[in-house]
Amino acid sequence: MKKAATEPPSRIPYPRLAALTARRGAARRSPAQTTAAASEKRRVERGEGKSPLSSDLLKKLDAYWRAANYLSVGQIYLYDNPLLKKPLKREHIKPRLLGHWGTTPGLNFLYVHLNRVINEQNLNVIYITGPGHGGPGLVANTYLEGSYSELYPNISQDEEGMQKLFKQFSFPGGIPSHVAPETPGSIHEGGELGYALAHAYGAVFDNPDLIAACVVGDGEAETGPLATSWHANKFLNPVRDGAVLPVLHLNGYKIAGPTVLARIPKEELDALLRGYGYRPCFVEGAEPAEMHQLMAATLDVVIADIKTIQYDGR
């Protein structure tokens, strides 16, 4: 069904409007706060957001991220010796490897950062990841948070369970190498690139409380379906639909080949995405502590923006 972006809010039944208005009313900003928020927004757009994480939270987010990375790399490479208690030997490595590391640390990074805003702001978020080879990252995170073992009790949260978790990945009788229907929380199967953003928009239509955070691989972005899906925002009505937060993962490569969007000048990419109807924020760098602060500052601003757009519309 086509969504009419110009439909007046009053015609749309929205039972939770009162509750939402009350929540927003309580958080109404003074003129000074509004000016501060506007300048933080401009800083974030330039990739210079301030540092909202305390040193304790920064340490915890980083530890969670590194644990998810360990669990991901273990799935790709390790047949045995899951905690590397013994010196690594050839027989501990899988005889035939599948997948590549590429997108995974980025997906894991965003996963833990989304968890922070979900917990702090009680948000309803679904995480959709386009680059199929990030499959181990999603399995790793669901294992780390406990939902994987809840669904598959034989993959327990101990050394024995971890060994099975690692062995089963892309292994005969095990699990697929991409996110698949059996991955907890999944609605988007990896494998054929191109449909992540379309699925993210589909998930939020007529689902006003949902935010779909959708990672688009820079290689995936070169597929026809994905290149077209940016325009799905034309069908989104902030009054009765949820929101999509696309995250373009510019890691520079599609497996080993260079990507177009990572090679064009930043201003050109910015203009391209603005032309599609988005307001891009850049989170760039390589130093983890700095990147955690930058991502946290950026997510704070974009989530506040989503809430403002929805509040104004509703």
Ligand X SMILES: Cc1ncc(C[n+]2csc(CCOP(=O)(O)OP(=O)(O)O)c2C)c(N)n1
- Which spans of this chain sit near Mg ion (rule: CB under 5 A)? 217-219, 251
For the chain, the farthest-separated pair of C-alpha atoms sits apart, in whole angstroms, at: 67
The residue with its CB nearest to ligand X is: 217
CB nearer Mg ion, residue 130 or residue 242: 130
Residue 300 near which of Mg ion, ligand X, none (CB within 5-8 Å, type-dependent): none
State the Cα–Cα distance between residues 109 and 53, nearest whole angstrom.
15
Residue 194 near which of Mg ion, ligand X, none (CB within 5-8 Å, type-dependent): ligand X
Residue 285 near which of ligand X, Mg ion, none (CB within 5-8 Å, type-dependent): none
Residue 309 near which of Mg ion, ligand X, none (CB within 5-8 Å, type-dependent): none
State the Cα–Cα distance between residues 205 and 171, nearest whole angstrom.
37
How many other C-beta atoms can be found within 10 angstroms of the C-beta atom of residue 183? 21
Positions touching ligand X (CB under 6 A) are 102-103, 131-133, 191-194, 217-220, 223, 251, 253-255, 259
Least CB distance from residue 311 to ligand X, whole Å?
A: 34
What Rg value do the Cα atoms of the chain yield, rounded? Answer: 20
Least CB distance from residue 244 to ligand X, whole Å?
A: 18
CB nearer ligand X, residue 52 or residue 217: 217
Residue 192 near which of ligand X, Mg ion, none (CB within 5-8 Å, type-dependent): ligand X
State the Cα–Cα distance between residues 133 and 146, nearest whole angstrom.
22
Q: At what angle do helices 288-313 and 17-26 cross, to 10 degrees?
A: 120
Least CB distance from residue 99 to ligand X, whole Å?
A: 9
CB nearer Mg ion, residue 194 or residue 219: 219
How many other C-beta atoms can be found within 10 angstroms of the C-beta atom of residue 63? 11
Element (H, E) at 245: strand 243-249
Beta bridge partners of 78: 93
CB nearer Mg ion, residue 72 or residue 310: 72
Least CB distance from residue 308 to ligand X, whole Å?
A: 31
Check: CB of residue 174 under 8 Å from CB of residue 96.
Answer: no
Least CB distance from residue 130 to Mg ion, whole Å?
A: 10
CB nearer Mg ion, residue 15 or residue 257: 257
Residue 193 near which of ligand X, Mg ion, none (CB within 5-8 Å, type-dependent): ligand X
CB nearer ligand X, residue 170 or residue 223: 223
State the Cα–Cα distance between residues 111 and 138, nearest whole angstrom.
8
State the Cα–Cα distance between residues 310 and 69, nearest whole angstrom.
35
Least CB distance from residue 192 to ligand X, whole Å?
A: 5
Residues in Cβ contact with 118 at an 8 Å cutoff, skipping those fewer than 6 apart? 125
